[in-house]
Amino acid sequence: MLRAGVTALSQDLKRQLARWQSAGLIDARQVEAIAEFEGAGVALPGAGQGGGSEGSITATEVITYAGALVTLAGLGTLLGTQYRQLGVVGRLAIPGLVAIAALLVARVLPGERARARRAQASLVTLAIAAIALFTGQLQAEILGGPDASIPPHTGYRILLVAAVVAAVLAAVFVVRLRSGLLAAALSVSLLVATIAYILLLQVAHGWAVEAVFLVTGAILVAAAEYGRRLRAVWATEVLAFAGPSMAIITAFITAQNGNLPLEIFGGLLAGVAFAASVYRGSAGYAFAGGIGLFAFVLDIEFRYFQSSLGFAVSLVISGLVLLGIALLLARLVPRLRR
């Protein structure tokens, strides 16, 4: 009975979308976005023939994911074990050819439906990683190749430039493909760029480091809110998790010397992220805030309340925090349907 009801509902939605499109109220791209958002899993008006739900994983996707992962692993292994033997041409040509091949295959994949875009996202992510390797290697070759003595300061600059290039490319393709995988690539690239920037400028620990990560977190949160306007569900939630998490975790890490105000600031950031998850109905903010609040309680109890009544009380608080996180996520996660 349930399956029959779902099928009837899907067919009704399909007819409604076709009627709205034929009336000129929405275009084909909007039809696709509505169907994905509602999780209808039906063939879209004007689309090619073929069975199956857009939410299902096809053999083509699995092979594409596996191929991209294996290629990336092989690329890293080759450069890591045969670096000097490859020569300057090989060290530059191999990541360059991998990037070109991945982009070409992504370009010729048929269609713009969800399954095709997911497969394209894995290939584009591979291409971005290869381009980042090429960018870093090109800088190293300009500075003298494998036999050059590159000081740490220059190494950090090479890493920063490569990470920024990867972040820019990931941001462009996130807008185009609206993929959670590419949003993760963007987040990792900005994380690496931020760390390289801190090492390059030799920023001291504490509030200065936290300020840099706050800027990075704000960029990712702004990207998440923009993705929310585009209804890019998974990309939005990945960015919503990554942005606050970076700033929250950095606050706890840089407060290891006993900087209590910085620890409290990290806890406040976690509380803000948790509140944002309620206001926005976002599982990404909920995970970031929930993990941050739990880490804050544990950090405080282990640092200040060991072997005391406060330790036991803080354990109880930790349990209540976990129950609150579970309750909130139980209400938010169902919204992440495709």
C-alpha 50/C-alpha 56 separation (Å) is: 13
The mean of the pLDDT values for the chain is 79
Q: Which two tokens stand for residue 213?
A: 């990560």
Q: Is the pLDDT of residue 43 over 50?
A: no
194-207 tens-digit pLDDT: 999 999 988 777 88
Q: Identify how many contiguous H helices and E strands the chain contains and give both numbers.
A: 12, 0
Q: Which residue has the higher pLDDT, 6 or 302?
A: 302
320-332 tens-digit pLDDT: 766 776 666 666 5
pTM of the predicted structure, to 2 decimals: 0.73
Q: Is the pLDDT of residue 286 over 90?
A: no
Q: Is the pLDDT of residue 63 over 50?
A: yes
pLDDT at 44: 41
Using pLDDT thresholds of 50, 70 and 90, give the confidence band for residue 47.
very low
Average pLDDT over residues 165-169: 96
| Domain extent listing, the chain | 218-338
A 10 A CB-CB count for 230 gives 13
220-264 tens-digit pLDDT: 999 999 988 888 888 899 999 999 999 998 888 887 766 788 888
pLDDT at 307: 55
Q: What percent of the chain has pLDDT over 70?
A: 75
Average pLDDT over residues 155-173: 94
State the Cα angle at 166 between 161 and 170, rounded to 5°: 150
Cα 314 to the chain's mean position, in Å?
32
pLDDT at 337: 43
Q: Is the pLDDT of residue 154 over 50?
A: yes
pLDDT at 205: 75
C-alpha 53/C-alpha 59 separation (Å) is: 13
Q: Which two tokens stand for residue 99?
A: 């990037």
Cα 182 to the chain's mean position, in Å?
6
